[in-house]
């Protein structure tokens, strides 16, 4: 009866059910995989109310109906009627998805992709070559829409004769050819979608110039936060986590979903951490001298959890003095952890500093480390104004706050704490959820962000802030803008001192991919300029991360997470296309020879010690001569919400050479060389990095 609505019958039942329309399966759905690998989601007990394009009688089962749909060139959605055993192929417009026990809904699946999952064909015309990936779509704006296009070949032909056409999409259902918008100005996201075929001009990748992104790495959780596990001789694991839900949050869940990803072997495992009774969603994170990571607050806002790389176990730490979420913490020169802000959780006001001392395993309030001078002015008020401070630990226990407020401040961590104004970084606006990184001692690159946390235009501005003595006014230099404005992007300093900024949106808007910037950019400190790199496949916005791996590549992942309100509630109604339980690894240009082949890397054969004191000596033995190489330490990172206050790069300048040995005297100031686990990289004259060895720097 319901399927006759195209004839004008609308029963009271359909009208009633229309009120309860679904945007995702309300129960457990299953997958039917067609002959060409196209996946169909089958949602039992639901109906797609609307016009049927054809009806096949006497179909024995739902799977048989899915098979018939798969065999048909123009079936993307179907409904199986379990009473009449009829298989209805549905149209594409004016459908209403509702609960109804009598029917099962079958829909060709959409999944974001970075590579064509099917065999591609070629189209050539006028010296141009195009690759055709059937059954996929490029979601995003079209520059031109051509109607009445007979087939895929015609669409490819039209693209090849349109000078601006780099990518096109053929809509086989409506016989429309879409010349897609320019990726430089618009966001295009490639996904499987049986209705469409993608035509892409085959342009040489040039990895030595632009770097190269890996295929998508599917993860069992959305990587909202990430840290590298310090391991010897070299780290090979990334731990990532979300909230109590792998793809959802809401409330204080008392547990956290983790994934353990080995970036050498590619293996991934899921892990629920519940023994610390801590939902670690939206926390601050800092690592200590002994390699332990302290995750603080977030959804369970007073709780803290230690991760110990030696045991791979979590233990509960002491509660903070004040409940916090979206605070920033930083490890100080004396191996304590300073934290400030965090009105997102717990009380809204007065989130002055406090400090964790590993020696006594206690937190102490620092009422003199006032939060008020570092507030932004946000459209949503105080909830957002003390979030994600740009903190850098510096000499003699000091902490420098470089943003996101226009104003900068020095914080002192002795006694009851102190605060000293340090001038204005950016007179134009605050830069909430911009990026900040110390790429060499005392030199801070910051870029992007928006005046308000969300619903706020991002900026492309960049600054270099140079700090020297604690409490002294820093030097601020506005440098060239990035090519793209970015809110919610992430920054990673590479062993050669360049900085990769990836992801982010042109207008900050939580939980969307709108205006996502696909191209990464590389900051070069020698020229203080930016260079655009290869585009990532998936937008990485709010709740995304990027982090340096021990092999000199960069992991970029996450974005999204769905608010479901109640702990344990299903995420089926979430829009999975903006919840990114995946990542991609970027190989920077320095890993390639000019012809695109892999560059030969310097090889470290041994370190004299796995643990060295600040100011101490370390001998590196190379496979081959040690001279002519650059030696660099990068503190291992932890990242969430565009904040990585652990990372910093320390080039090593006091080096003497033997034949295959380099003896390094480390910087003698623990405010420069903050205690903790570091990557030791060796770079050759071409700037190609070794695989890093792990070294612990201690007081």
Ligand X SMILES: *[C@@H]1O[C@H](CO)[C@@H](O)[C@H](O)[C@H]1NC(C)=O
Catalog residues that contact ligand X under the rule CB under 6 A.
Answer: 396, 412, 414, 654, 665, 667-668
Closest to ligand X by CB, 5 vs 396, is 396
Region at 559 (left for phi over 0; alpha for psi -120 to 50; beta for the rest): left
Closest to ligand X by CB, 410 vs 436, is 410
Q: What is the dihedral of CA 217, 219, 221, 225, to 10 degrees?
A: -50
CB under 5 to 8 A by kind: which of ligand X, Cu ion, none does 668 bind? Answer: ligand X
CB under 5 to 8 A by kind: which of ligand X, Cu ion, none does 412 bind? Answer: ligand X
Closest to ligand X by CB, 235 vs 332, is 332
Least Cβ distance, residue 332 to ligand X (angstroms):
11
Least Cβ distance, residue 624 to ligand X (angstroms):
23
Site string for Cu ion, 236-275 (x = CB under 5 A): ----------------------------------------
Of residues 225, 366, 336, 343, the one with CA closest to residue 285: 225
Token pair belonging to 584: 């991609």
Residue nearest to Cu ion (CB): 282
Least Cβ distance, residue 117 to Cu ion (angstroms):
31
CB under 5 to 8 A by kind: which of Cu ion, ligand X, none does 441 bind? Answer: none
CB under 5 to 8 A by kind: which of ligand X, Cu ion, none does 396 bind? Answer: ligand X
Cα distance between residue 454 and residue 451, in whole Å: 9
Token pair belonging to 52: 């049927």
Using the rule CB under 5 A, give the single segment among 189-197, 282-290, 528-536, 656-664 that binds Cu ion: 282-290
Cα distance between residue 695 and residue 699, in whole Å: 13
| Cα–Cα distance list, 663 to 396, 672, 680 (Å) | 27, 20, 13
Site string for Cu ion, 430-459 (x = CB under 5 A): ------------------------------
Least Cβ distance, residue 460 to ligand X (angstroms):
35
Least Cβ distance, residue 340 to ligand X (angstroms):
17
CB under 5 to 8 A by kind: which of Cu ion, ligand X, none does 621 bind? Answer: none
CB under 5 to 8 A by kind: which of ligand X, Cu ion, none does 689 bind? Answer: none
Least Cβ distance, residue 670 to ligand X (angstroms):
11
Quick check: 590 and 496 in contact, CB under 8 A? yes
Closest to ligand X by CB, 54 vs 665, is 665
Instruction: Tell which one of 66, 282, 620, 652 touches Cu ion (CB under 5 A).
Output: 282
Of residues 187, 212, 210, 188, the one with CA closest to residue 200: 188
Residue nearest to ligand X (CB): 665
Q: What is the dihedral of CA 313, 316, 320, 322, to 10 degrees?
A: 110
Angle at 368 between CA 365 and CA 370, to 5 degrees: 95
Cα distance between residue 535 and residue 504, in whole Å: 12
Closest to ligand X by CB, 534 vs 664, is 664
Closest to ligand X by CB, 503 vs 667, is 667
Q: Which residues contact 311 (CB under 8 A, 6 or more apart)?
A: none
Q: Catalytic residue numbers?
A: 542
Least Cβ distance, residue 298 to ligand X (angstroms):
31
CB under 5 to 8 A by kind: which of Cu ion, ligand X, none does 282 bind? Answer: Cu ion
Closest to ligand X by CB, 410 vs 592, is 410
Query: Does residue 266 sit in helix, strand or coil?
Result: coil
Cα distance between residue 581 and residue 574, in whole Å: 13
Q: How many residues bind Cu ion (CB under 5 A)?
A: 1
| Cα–Cα distance list, 166 to 118, 156, 535 (Å) | 20, 11, 14
| Cα–Cα distance list, 195 to 65, 565, 592 (Å) | 18, 34, 38
Name the site residues for Cu ion (rule: CB under 5 A).
282
């Amino acid at each position: 009866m319901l399927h006759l609505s195209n004839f004008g019958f609308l029963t009271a039942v359909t009208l009633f059910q229309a009120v309860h329309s679904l945007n995702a399966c309300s129960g457990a759905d299953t997958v039917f995989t067609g002959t060409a690998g196209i996946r169909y989601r089958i949602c039992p007990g639901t109906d797609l109310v609307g016009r049927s394009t054809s009806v096949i009688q006497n179909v024995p089962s739902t799977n048989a109906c899915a098979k018939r749909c798969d065999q048909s060139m123009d079936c993307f959605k179907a409904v199986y009627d379990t009473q009449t055993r009829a298989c209805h192929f549905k149209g594409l417009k004016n459908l209403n998805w509702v609960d109804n026990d009598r029917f099962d809904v079958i829909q060709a699946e959409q999944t974001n992709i970075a590579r064509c999952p099917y065999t591609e064909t070629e189209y050539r015309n006028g010296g141009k070559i195009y690759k055709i990936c059937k059954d996929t779509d490029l979601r995003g704006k079209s520059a031109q829409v051509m109607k009445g296009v007979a087939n895929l070949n015609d669409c490819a032909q039209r693209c090849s004769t349109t000078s601006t056409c780099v990518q096109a999409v053929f809509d086989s259902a409506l016989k429309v050819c879409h010349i897609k918008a320019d990726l430089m100005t618009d966001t295009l996201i490639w996904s499987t979608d049986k209705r469409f075929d993608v035509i892409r001009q085959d342009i040489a990748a040039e990895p030595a110039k632009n770097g190269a992104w890996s295929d998508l790495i599917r993860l069992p959780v959305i990587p909202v936060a990430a840290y590298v596990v310090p391991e010897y001789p070299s780290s090979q694991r990334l731990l990532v986590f979300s909230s109590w839900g792998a793809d959802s949050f809401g409330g204080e869940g008392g547990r956290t979903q983790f994934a353990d990803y080995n970036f050498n072997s590619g293996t991934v495992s899921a892990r629920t951490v519940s023994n610390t009774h801590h939902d670690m969603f939206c926390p601050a994170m800092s690592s200590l001298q002994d390699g332990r990571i302290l995750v603080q607050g977030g959804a369970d806002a007073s709780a803290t959890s230690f991760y110990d790389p030696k045991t791979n176990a979590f233990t509960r730490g002491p509660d903070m003095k004040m409940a916090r979420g979206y605070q920033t913490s930083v490890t100080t020169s004396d191996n304590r952890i300073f934290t400030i802000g965090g009105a997102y959780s717990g009380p809204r006001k007065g989130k002055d500093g406090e400090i964790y001392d590993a020696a006594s395993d206690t937190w102490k309030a620092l009422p003199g480390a006032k939060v008020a001078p570092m507030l932004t002015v946000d459209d949503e008020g105080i909830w957002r104004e003390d979030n994600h401070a740009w903190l850098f630990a510096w000499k003699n226990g000091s902490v420098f706050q470089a943003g996101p407020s226009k104003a900068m401040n020095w914080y002192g961590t002795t006694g009851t704490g102190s605060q000293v104004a340090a001038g204005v970084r950016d007179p134009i606006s605050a830069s909430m959820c911009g990026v900040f990184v110390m790429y060499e001692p005392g030199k801070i690159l910051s870029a992007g962000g928006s005046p308000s946390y969300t619903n706020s235009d991002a900026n492309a501005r960049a600054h270099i802030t140079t700090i020297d003595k604690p409490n002294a006014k820093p030097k601020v230099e506005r440098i060239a803008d990035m090519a793209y404005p970015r809110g919610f992007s992430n920054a990673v300093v590479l062993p050669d001192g360049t900085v990769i900024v990836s992801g982010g949106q042109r207008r900050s808007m939580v939980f969307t991919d709108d205006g996502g910037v696909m191209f990464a950019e590389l900051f070069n400190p020698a020229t203080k300029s930016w260079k655009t790199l290869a585009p990532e496949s998936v937008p990485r916005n709010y709740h995304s991360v990027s982090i340096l791996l021990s092999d000199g590549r960069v992991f970029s992942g996450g974005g999204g997470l769905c608010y479901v309100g109640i702990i344990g509630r299903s995420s089926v109604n979430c829009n999975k296309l903006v919840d990114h339980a995946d990542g991609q690894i970027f190989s920077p240009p320095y890993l390639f020879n000019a012809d695109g082949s892999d560059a030969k890397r310097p090889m470290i054969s041994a370190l004299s010690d796995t643990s060295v004191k600040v100011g101490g000596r370390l001998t590196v033995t190379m496979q081959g001569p040690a001279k002519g190489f650059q030696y660099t330490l990068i503190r291992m990172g932890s990242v969430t919400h565009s904040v990585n206050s652990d990372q910093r790069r320390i080039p090593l300048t006091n080096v003497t050479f033997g034949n295959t040995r380099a003896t390094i005297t480390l910087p003698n100031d623990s405010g420069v060389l903050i205690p903790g686990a570091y990557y030791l990289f060796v770079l050759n004259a071409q700037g190609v990095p070794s695989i890093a060895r792990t070294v612990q720097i201690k007081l």
